Structures are given as structure tokens and as C-alpha cells.
Amino acid sequence: MTDVDVYDGNGEYVSTVKSQIAIQHGFGNGMEESCEYQKKAVANLFYQLPIHGYAAVNMSAIATINDAVGGVEVTVPPDLDGFQEQFTEGKRVYLLGENAFWFVKYRDTDIFGSADMRLERQKQYLNGFIRSAKRAVHKDASVVIDLYQAVRPQMVTDISPDEAVYLASVRKDTAGQIRLADEYSTDTYKFSKEDMYCLGCHSDTVSQKMCGDCEIRLCGTKKSYKSCAECGGFPCSALEKNLGDNSDNLNRLRQIAAEYKKEE
């Protein structure tokens, strides 16, 4: 429960009441306006913590999101026993397609406390989804942009495709950092896992070993673009020389550049 701003039918502010934070979204237009109201409510809840982005996804996208990461493994709780053929209490199942949708959404309103049961089920699903998403991104980072494109028709967000890819890249992955450090290291020049942490070309926090004389970063810091994909000169010789003409990184940038062109 937190402060929620109430607006009338004309969008005029009426009052602030204590209510469930999810209620705030309903006082907007269901699109960007609702998300901006929601950002404010969340920031207020956390004592004016800056909220840098939002993504509101329609529940109809659950099956799409679920399958994009290869499915999610869960344990069937008592309140879903017998609801679907494969749903037997205590059974471990791998959710795909509409089964994922119903696992998250279903609630028997005739049973007291069913909302709390569903909430516990949703928490279990989210934890399982995060594990599946991490595995999928570890195998192929381009799954982030594929997922973004897949749910875009059912999503309202101010997070750009390149920001989504970037956010995935800074996840805490100690094993991955160690692996990359080993791959980059030579007999005469050693990298540590701490060197394998990137906050982007425009960040003041950089690894001097990796980024100090980087031609791409030096170019990027002179420009206001969020990524190379926004630049009118993309793809340039510096990218092809440093990343390789057919590298995964450059191909992801090509995907992001194509997304920008669709928006023009």
C-alpha cells in the first residue's frame, strides 16, 4: 500500500489516497501516460528513488515471453491440481505456450485466499523465468533483442532495444566474467574478472585495460547517441575492424539499427 494519485475523467488531479500501487496505472490512458503515473508512484514508494525506465507488458504476451527463453520449469501447487491434464500437485512440469499463461493467470474466485495462492504461484514462476532467461542469454545474447521484438506489439516501454541489450550485458555473471577474462588474456597481458564489467561507452566507470584506448569508445564519447546503431555512419570501418564484419556484437547492432529504421 502506498500513495496513489487520483485523476478525474479529464485527467485533472483530484487527490492522493493510500491504495495498492498497481491501481495507479488505471488512472492514465493505459499507455505512456499510465506508465508515467506508475513511475512516479514507485519512486515515491522508495523515497524518490529515480526510475529510469518502464515496460508494461500485456498478459497475452506471457506465452511468447515464456517460449522465447525456452520454457520455465515449476512445481504444480495445490490450487492448480487437476486444472490442466499435466497439472498434478507436486509434479515438476516444464511450461510452454498457453500452459505458462494459465499457470500465471488462473484463480478460482470461489476459494477464499485464492489471490494469495496465485501470488505465490506467480513468484515461483518469476524465479523460474529468471533462471531460464539467464541460461538463454548466456548461450546467445541476441535472445534479448529477439524477445524485445517478439513482445513489442503487446508492450508499452520507453526502454530502447539497445538499452535492453545493454541491461542484459551488465547482469552479475561471475562465471561468465572469469571465462571472458581467460579468453582475452595472453601470456604477457592478463585480465581479471573485474575488467570484464561494462557500464557503457558513456560511463565514467571504465576498465582502462579494456577501454582506455578503445577507438569505438573514443568515438562514442564525442557523440550523443546511446549506441552506434543510432549513428548515420553505421556501420563504420572502426566497428568492422574492432568487432569483425560478421561478429555477434556487430550483428546485434545491425538488428538494433533495423529497429530504429522501423520507428522512423
pLDDT at 198: 67
CATH number at residue 87: 3.40.630.190
User: Which structural domain, as residue segments, surrounds residue 141?
Assistant: 59-146
Q: Give the residue-averaged pLDDT of 120-147.
A: 87
Whether 152 is in a domain gets the answer no
CA gap 102, 95 in Å, rounded = 10
User: Quick one: CA torsion of 104, 105, 111, 114, rounded to 10 degrees?
Assistant: 50
Domain count, the chain: 3
Residues 91 and 172 in one domain: no
User: Is the model's pLDDT at 119 over the cut of 90?
Assistant: yes
Residue 76 has what pLDDT? 94
What are the φ/ψ torsions at residue 19 (nearest 5 degrees)?
-160, 175
- Cα-flanking dihedrals φ and ψ of residue 259, to 5°? -65, -40
Same domain for 70 and 43, yes or no, is no
Q: Is residue 226 part of a domain?
A: yes
Whether 127 and 197 map to the same domain: the answer is no
Determine the pLDDT at residue 162.
73
Mean pLDDT of 117-143: 88
Q: Kindly tell me if the per-residue pLDDT of 226 is higher than 90.
A: no
Compute the distance between CA of residue 195 and CA of residue 178 in angstroms, rounded to an integer: 10
Domain boundary among 117, 146, 175: 146
pTM (2 d.p.): 0.64
pLDDT at 182: 82
Based on the fold, state whether residues 111 and 93 are members of the same structural domain.
Answer: yes
Q: Is the residue at 89 inside a domain?
A: yes
- 14 pLDDT band (50/70/90 cuts)? very high
> In the predicted model, what is the mean pLDDT of residues 134-156?
84
| Helices 143-151 and 114-139, axial angle in degrees (round to 10) | 140
Is 194 a domain residue?
A: yes
Whether pLDDT at 169 is above 70: no
